[in-house]
Structure 1
Amino acid sequence: MEIEGWAVQELRRRMDADGAHDVAHVARVVRMARQIDRELGHLCDPAVLTAAAWLHDLVSLPKSHPERARSSLLSADEAVDLLGRRGFPTEKLGQVHHAIHAHSFSAGLPCRSIEAEVLQDADRLDALGAIGLARCFYTAGRMGAQIFDPDDPLAARRPLDDRAFALDHLPVKLYRIADTLHTLPARRIAAARVALLKSFEAALVEEAG
């Protein structure tokens, strides 16, 4: 079953102008999920992984939305409805639903399948590295946050507050992501990307004086 063509059209129709959660983000997650699965020796059901990866952000509520934590559940519900109407194997819809529902950081749902683990890892890796940094500062700007606290960039004398300062999001969430990953390929990639984040943080503090 060919998913990419109609999935991209559906995503473009539904997604707003959020550059951190756009079709390009979804395409990167699809590529990374496939890369992780290849390195694992193709342990995933390709139909389940592909469908879940393309449709994991079908509903993406803004971070400020009170129902933000339900985004992945809403995406999962919408995805299985679309897939069911397009002839996707009925016996695999539950696996797709779980993988999408469990991928979200805010949902806090444990993964019960290798497809869920791979999708979650692929999605979280997109929050790290150069693109992860760009997404972090882009989102912080949309939410009205400052780049950093000029009086205390590393929060040595104040509580961390990533709603007020974008740089605080690195220790609040991004550095912690590497510890949540399931697969060895994802953890290897995350180590390099976290090193880049820490190098950026050190350079920013040095430039800030």
Structure 2
Amino acid sequence: MYAKYEPLLIEFIAATMAADPAHDPQHINRVVSNAKQLARHESANLAVVVPAAYLHDCFSLPKNHPERAKSSQLAAQKARQFLVSINYPELHLDAITHAITAHSYSAGITPQTLEAKVVQDADRLDALGAIGIARCIQVGSSMGVELYHGDDPFAQEREWNDKHYTFDHFYTKLFRLPDAMHTHAARQEAKRRLAFMQDYLQQLGTEIAVADAASITTTT
């Protein structure tokens, strides 16, 4: 049923998404792909999951904006208005709105439906693995944040601080995501992506000459 609306969703996102290095149309495409796969594994309703995945970032405040936590609520309002304008079936609107509102990490809203859990998992998978590393560096660079602390990159004698060091964000947020996944398929994929990120940090430690990098990179 959702398929006939998909071209309209794609057109809307292409026309309205603000420039954001980590929330671009490619991010949307990956989240939609993740969401479709997870929905099929979990027998979730694609008529809810697909529009929510396409529209989850149709409005997004910058990471360092003081009202960043409200982004998903504003996106949900904008998405609902658009869906009404294209006559999307009304019976799905509340579920789509909830899935968009609950997807955000910063909003801290617990998803109450299977479809909302699928969309949240799909979005969070895109913060992990090779693409997660690339997106993290993109965001840090756009905010003028250093890659790592020059004297103590793995925070052996300081607190993690991702407002100042990009790779600290792995420990303050990203490494926590696998345990927060709701669906079995997402948890399994998240573990694979987490292992890649840990290998990456081990290699980073070797290249910047940090002693015992293998043990350091698994610390959270």
Alignment TM class, shorter chain as reference: over 0.9
Q: Which residue of 2 is the match for residue 133 of structure 1?
A: 133
Q: Distance in 2 between matches of 1:5 and 1:71?
A: 24
Residue in structure 2 matching 1:28, options 27, 30, 36 = 30
Aligned to 2:173, the other structure's residue is in SS state helix
Is 1:56–2:27 an aligned residue pair?
A: no
Name which of structure 1's ranges 137-146 and 43-52 shifts more when overlaid on structure 2: 43-52
Q: Distance in 1 between matches of 2:82 and 2:188?
A: 35
Is 1:173–2:159 an aligned residue pair?
A: no
Q: Which residue of 1 is the match for residue 89 of structure 2?
A: 89
Q: How many angstroms does 1:16 deviate by?
A: 2.8
Aligned ranges for residues 97-112 of structure 1 at < 5 Å?
A: 97-112=97-112
Which letter maps to 1:63?
K
Q: Distance in 2 between matches of 1:4 and 1:205?
A: 44
Q: How many angstroms does 1:12 deviate by?
A: 2.3
Name which of structure 1's ranges 122-131 and 160-169 shifts more when overlaid on structure 2: 160-169
Aligned ranges for residues 1-209 of structure 1 at < 5 Å?
A: 1=2, 2-40=4-42, 43-209=43-209
Preserved contact between residue 30 and residue 53 of structure 1 (Cα < 8 Å): yes
Q: Distance in 2 between matches of 1:164 and 1:92?
A: 42
Name which of structure 1's ranges 121-130 and 31-40 shifts more when overlaid on structure 2: 31-40
Preserved contact between residue 118 and residue 183 of structure 2 (Cα < 8 Å): yes
TM-score, length-normalised on structure 2?
Answer: 0.91
Q: Which runs of 4+ in 1 moved over 6 A?
A: none
Preserved contact between residue 150 and residue 208 of structure 1 (Cα < 8 Å): no
Root-mean-square deviation over aligned CA pairs: 1.0
Which letter maps to 1:22?
D
Aligned identity (percent) is 43
Which letter maps to 1:204?
L
Which letter maps to 1:132?
G
Deviations 1:52-92 (A, max 9, x none): 11111110110111221111111111111111121111121
Q: Distance in 1 between matches of 2:19 and 2:98?
A: 27
Q: How many angstroms does 1:13 deviate by?
A: 2.3
Could you list the runs of 5+ residues in structure 1 that have no partner in the other structure?
Answer: none
Q: How many angstroms does 1:44 deviate by?
A: 1.4
Paired residue total = 207
Aligned to 1:91, the other structure's residue is in SS state helix
